[in-house]
Chains A and B, each alone.
Chain A
Amino acid sequence: MTQVYDPTAPIPEVIQNLRRSVGDLTGKVVGFIDNAKPNFNLLADDIAELLTSRYGVKTIIKRAKRGASMPATEQVIDELAAQCDLVVTGSGD
């Protein structure tokens, strides 16, 4: 056997924790970041309707990115973080 270097870098293990538990959705404010993929807006519309009519969500706030491969603006993130109890992001291809 011979010795060679492993060319990879270990992926840092970051343990993700929810900042807080939302629990019951009644009266909550839910945000959507539309990732600008085709049809995400339609999916978000349907989910928003269900969240409001079936689970008692009080307010839905929708904001869009310019394109799927770019991050949401800091302004959008700050706004949703300040106003929402939870935020949904996702791909709607």
Chain B
Amino acid sequence: MSAAPLTRAMLVEAPDDLDELIEFFHARRWSDGLPIVPPTRERVERMLSCTTRKPDEVVANVAPGFGAATVERIAINAVMAGCRADYLPVLIAATEAMTAKEFNLQGIQATTNPVAVWLVVNGPIAEQLGVNGGMNCLGQGTVANATLGRALRLILQNLGGAIPGEMDRATHGQPGKFSFCCAENEAQSPWEALHVERGFKRDQSTVTVIGAAGTHNMNTHAKDADDLIRVIADTMAFPTSNDYWIAGEPWIIVSPEHAEVLHAGGLSKADVKRRLWEASKMSAGRMAKIELARTQTARSEELGPITTNTLLPVSRGPEDVGILVAGGPGTHSVYVASFGDARAVTREIV
């Protein structure tokens, strides 16, 4: 058999019967374990009609296998995930973002850590596509959130070659590896939106990729900003976190209600980052001895000599604490510990 072309996708013969076709994909490990939408020529062409970019254009090579993520192959995986055709530009931008050097996709794809790639959509396109940043934005029930995150996972697996148990060495993984996508609730945020904070104009649309180790709910009825900062910071500090030993980039998904408490307390977004960074410093003595040794290797240049009495900041500086306002009514916010060795990347959706 001749070698497959590096930049053009190949058509293959598959069973007509839908049940058999789905099994055909499962057998080849081309799916995430859920049924797929068959990527027929017609469906893929419809998806490609929503971009001006050429099908054989290589958007990026995806670690760890470094398969060529062409526009066409991104579209194929988007079809399989159930994406609507106009979602394609989001996935092209997300593929560019997650293959930027500072995102460290090689580490994310091959690690034992459960890290998932979290997509955050900002700007007008979020509303146009119906990406949910409100109630249950990390849960089920929204087509865009469910299928965009799923498509990205299929791209990571099918183009990056990170097959679970093979190149993907995750000890447990996490549900967010099926899909992890939301918008920011810009309408209910008292602060500048994430993409504006990161240098884009409010009317630009962007996608941000984040290496998320998991989600931890924080339920508090605190109505005082100082009290709220204290309990969130206390939640951030735990001795098995990757963030403390390597200086990570943790995120807090602040609910609109909590954001209003902080804003009413006179805190800007930068203030919140600084206050959380200060208040979440953790005694190095809480770590296991071997993690303390790893921390000494990783952070002595940054912090000087590290002993059991050293108070470790969660990140190099307050600016590395991520803040996103999302969710619906309720007294819950979410702590998203990070992979540690990755930095969020934002790209414009065009």
Let me know if A22 is at the binding interface, CB within 8 A.
no
SS of B interface (majority): mixed
A9 to B298, CA, bound (A): 36
Out of B66, B69, B246, B290, name the residue touching A38 (CB < 8 Å). Answer: B290
**Closest Cβ neighbor of B290 among chain A residues:** A38
Contact across chains for A1 and B13 when beta carbons are under 8 A apart: yes
Contact yes or no, A11 B9, CB < 8 A: no
Q: Which residues of B contact A70 (CB under 8 A)?
A: 104, 107, 341
CB pair B67–A9 under 8 Å, yes or no, is: yes
Give the interface of B toward A (CB within 8 A).
3-6, 9-16, 21, 30, 38-41, 44, 62, 65-70, 73, 76-77, 80, 104, 106-108, 110-111, 113, 154, 158-159, 161, 245-246, 290, 293-294, 297-298, 339-341
Q: Distance (Å) between the CB of B316 and the closest chain A CB?
A: 12
Other A-B contacts than A2-B16, A4-B38, 9 sampled, CB-CB below 8 A, are: A1-B16, A2-B13, A5-B9, A5-B44, A9-B69, A9-B159, A67-B246, A69-B113, A70-B341
| Those 3 A-B pairs whose CB atoms lie nearest each other, nearest first | A9-B67, A69-B107, A10-B4
For A3, the chain B residues whose CB sits under 8 A away are: 11-14, 40-41
Asked if B297 and A7 sit within 8 Å, CB to CB, the answer is no
In the complex, how many residue pairs between chain A and chain B have their CB atoms under 8 Å apart? 108
17 A–B contacts from the bound complex (CB under 8 Å):
A3-B40, A4-B12, A7-B9, A7-B39, A7-B154, A8-B30, A9-B6, A9-B65, A9-B70, A9-B158, A10-B3, A66-B246, A66-B297, A67-B246, A67-B298, A67-B340, A70-B104
Name the residue of chain A whose CB is nearest to the CB of B111: A69
Contact A5 B66 (CB under 8 A): no
